[in-house]
Each structure stands twice: as structure tokens, then as C-alpha cells.
């Protein structure tokens, strides 16, 4: 009899032998052994859309070209964005994070150099300007088709034209009949607030050239905002619609050329509206904070 103490932390299982007189089972022949099923990886939780297979990925040469021009620490991240092909932001560690659409990797080294020049100095760059290699690359049929597919996949966001105080749809109709001969076919409505604000500036209106949509900031839907102010903002975006082909004909964008200012002079209350916005812009920023607090409270009560 063994006097060795058992470890209380070990789990002892009783071993039962084969009954006396019973033979051990014969091993199955190899032909009768069922084959093991082939292992297949589990499906991914999400699928990242990829660029067409015809687009090559010369990542090392592209990044070497970029770093040779930028002359500063950069980190490159690749995506399949079809609306904003290149962007960057400065991170806290001093490294510039550059986001590149994979479609640009199909371009020539001249296109890569123009991208690097834009990352180094966006204000002096001629990226995608008429006559440049990057513009010629965008004009290729395969690239146009790739970008157009992304534009068609965008889901339209329903807009509300009726607000608490002002109905921008009616304002748009009056201006369209009086100044644009009822030819402006854009959709107008209040923009949706996302609940996130990072700057002390605010865009009161915007015109989307791809979707032909005019959006007005809901901060203007306020009883303390005069009627001529919101009307001037709507008129401003309708002038963008009027000059959409001239401003976006492939040349370097100039959002407010002299011709734009001449059209704005047709609205008699334009100077008065700009004076009011220059004087009370801080109140609009405060009003935006109030609307954001209301939005957050509404989300918490859902």
C-alpha cells in the first residue's frame, strides 16, 4: 500500500478495466476510417469592400515616393473612399496620418508625386487641377466608372423642410420664382445634427454638387434670427447651384469668384444679412450648443 499523500488539488477519476473474458475491439482498416473534414475558416464579422482586382497595390513604391517628398514622419492608411481620395491629419505624436484611397495606387509615379506635394503643402498644390497628371488619371474611363459606383451607392438622407419657425421649402420656392425663373431643381431641407462639434466655426448652408441638395443649418430655425438672414443663406446656396458647371468644370475650384458676388448683389438684403451675422455669430454658436444638449437629452430618454 502506498503511503504517498494525494494532492487535494488534483481530480482523481476512477479507472474501470475491461470485463473479464471480453476481447479488445479490432482496429478499423484504413479504408473504413472516415476522412476528416477539411477545415474552413469561420466567416468574418464584417467585410471591407475592396477595389477592383485590376487595381494593383504597389504600396512600398508609393510610400517611398510619398516620404521622399513630404520630408516628415507620416503614417499611411488605405481605404476605398470614392468621394475623398486623399486626406490627412496631424496626430499628437507629431506624425501626419495620411488616408489614401486604393484607386490612387493604380496611378503613375507622376500622380504619386502630386499627391505627395499636396500632403506637404495643400495650399500650394495643384492636385486634380486641369492639365495635371492626377486630373488625367481621374478622367480615365475605368477610374470614372469606379468613382461613379461609389456615388450611386450613397443612400439619400431624407430632409425636413419644415422647421419650428421657418419653412425653408417655402423660402426656396419664393426665391426660385423671383430670381431663378423656377429653374432651380435642387432639393432643400434642414441638415441633421450629429451631436459632435469640434470647432468654433459653423457652416450655415451647403450645396452638394453630386446629389443636387441644399442643406441649411437648423440653428437658423430660431425666432431670434431675422427672416432676411435665413433667406440670404438659402439664396447663397442657390447661386452655388446656378454656377455649378462653371465652378466645377475641371479647373481649380474658386467657390466665390467675381461672378458669384455679382449674383449675390441681386438680393437686396444681402449686406444687411451679412452685417447681422457678423454681429451675432456668437449667439448662433451658443444656440448650436443648446440644440446639441436637447439632442443628447432626447437620445438618453429613448
Domain extent listing, the chain: 59-153, 168-300
Does the pLDDT at position 52 exceed 50? Answer: no
C-alpha closest to that of 169 among 184, 179, 156: 184
Does the pLDDT at position 222 exceed 90? Answer: yes
Contact by Cβ (8 Å): 52, 141:
no
C-alpha closest to that of 287 among 137, 165, 181: 165
Contact by Cβ (8 Å): 134, 111:
yes
Does the pLDDT at position 264 exceed 60? Answer: yes
Query: Which ranges constitute the DSSP H helices of 109-140?
Result: 109-120, 133-138
Taking only the tens place, the pLDDT of each residue in 147-186 is: 877 665 555 567 889 999 999 999 999 999 999 999 999 9
Rounded to an integer, the average pLDDT of 261-270 is: 93
Rounded to an integer, the average pLDDT of 40-54 is: 43
Does the pLDDT at position 218 exceed 90? Answer: yes
Taking only the tens place, the pLDDT of each residue in 75-105 is: 888 888 887 888 888 877 888 888 898 889 8
CATH placement of domain 59-153? 3.30.2010
Taking only the tens place, the pLDDT of each residue in 236-252 is: 999 999 988 765 444 44
Q: What confidence score (pLDDT) does residue 152 get?
A: 52
CATH of 168-300, one of 1.20.1090.10, 3.90.1150.10, 2.60.40.10, 3.30.2010.10: 3.30.2010.10
Contact by Cβ (8 Å): 103, 143:
yes
Q: What confidence score (pLDDT) does residue 36 get?
A: 56
Among 16-30, 164-178, 284-298, the range scoring the smallest mean pLDDT is 16-30
Half-sphere exposure of 202 (CA within 13 A, CB side): 24
Q: For residue 86, what are the β-bridge partners? A: 100
Q: Roughly how many angstroms between the first and final C-alpha of the chain, as a whole number?
A: 72
Question: For residues 147 and 233, which has the higher predicted lDDT (pLDDT)?
Answer: 233
Q: For residue 190, what are the β-bridge partners? A: 160, 216
Does the pLDDT at position 22 exceed 60? Answer: no
Q: What confidence score (pLDDT) does residue 37 get?
A: 58
Distance CA 173, CA 183 (A): 10
Q: What confidence score (pLDDT) does residue 172 get?
A: 96
Q: What confidence score (pLDDT) does residue 2 get?
A: 45
Q: For residue 160, what are the β-bridge partners? A: 190
Q: What confidence score (pLDDT) does residue 157 get?
A: 62
CA dihedral 128, 133, 139, 142 (to 10 degrees): -120
Q: What confidence score (pLDDT) does residue 230 get?
A: 96
At 197, is the pLDDT very low, low, confident or very high (cuts 50, 70, 90)? low
At 121, is the pLDDT very low, low, confident or very high (cuts 50, 70, 90)? confident
Q: What confidence score (pLDDT) does residue 40 get?
A: 58
At 20, is the pLDDT very low, low, confident or very high (cuts 50, 70, 90)? low
Amino acid at each position: 500500500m502506498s503511503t504517498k499523500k494525494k494532492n487535494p488539488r488534483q481530480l482523481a477519476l476512477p479507472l474501470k478495466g475491461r470485463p473479464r473474458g471480453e476481447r479488445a475491439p479490432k482496429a478499423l482498416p484504413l479504408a473504413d476510417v472516415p476522412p476528416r473534414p477539411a477545415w474552413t475558416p469561420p466567416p468574418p464579422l464584417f467585410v471591407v469592400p475592396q477595389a477592383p482586382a485590376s487595381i494593383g497595390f504597389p504600396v512600398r513604391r508609393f510610400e517611398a515616393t510619398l516620404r521622399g517628398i513630404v520630408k516628415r514622419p507620416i503614417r499611411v492608411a488605405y481605404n476605398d473612399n470614392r468621394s475623398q481620395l486623399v486626406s490627412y491629419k496631424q496626430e499628437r505624436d507629431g506624425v501626419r496620418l495620411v488616408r489614401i484611397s486604393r484607386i490612387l495606387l493604380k496611378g503613375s509615379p507622376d500622380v504619386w508625386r502630386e499627391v505627395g506635394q499636396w500632403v506637404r503643402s495643400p495650399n500650394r498644390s495643384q492636385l486634380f487641377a486641369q492639365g495635371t497628371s492626377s486630373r488625367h488619371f481621374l478622367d480615365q474611363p475605368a477610374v470614372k466608372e469606379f468613382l461613379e459606383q461609389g456615388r450611386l451607392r450613397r443612400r439619400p438622407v431624407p430632409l425636413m423642410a419644415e422647421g419650428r419657425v421657418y419653412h425653408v421649402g417655402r423660402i426656396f420656392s419664393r426665391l426660385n420664382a423671383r430670381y431663378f425663373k423656377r429653374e432651380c431643381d435642387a432639393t432643400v431641407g434642414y441638415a441633421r445634427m450629429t451631436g459632435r462639434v469640434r470647432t468654433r466655426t459653423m457652416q450655415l448652408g451647403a450645396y452638394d454638387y453630386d446629389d443636387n441638395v441644399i442643406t441649411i443649418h437648423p440653428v437658423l430655425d430660431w425666432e431670434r434670427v431675422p427672416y432676411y438672414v435665413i433667406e440670404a443663406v438659402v439664396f447663397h446656396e442657390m447661386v452655388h447651384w446656378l454656377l455649378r458647371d462653371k465652378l466645377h468644370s475641371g479647373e481649380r475650384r474658386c467657390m466665390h469668384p467675381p461672378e458669384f458676388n455679382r449674383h449675390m448683389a441681386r438680393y437686396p438684403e444681402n449686406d444687411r444679412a451679412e452685417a447681422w451675422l457678423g454681429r451675432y455669430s456668437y449667439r448662433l454658436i451658443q444656440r448650436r450648443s443648446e440644440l446639441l444638449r436637447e439632442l443628447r437629452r432626447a437620445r438618453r430618454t429613448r
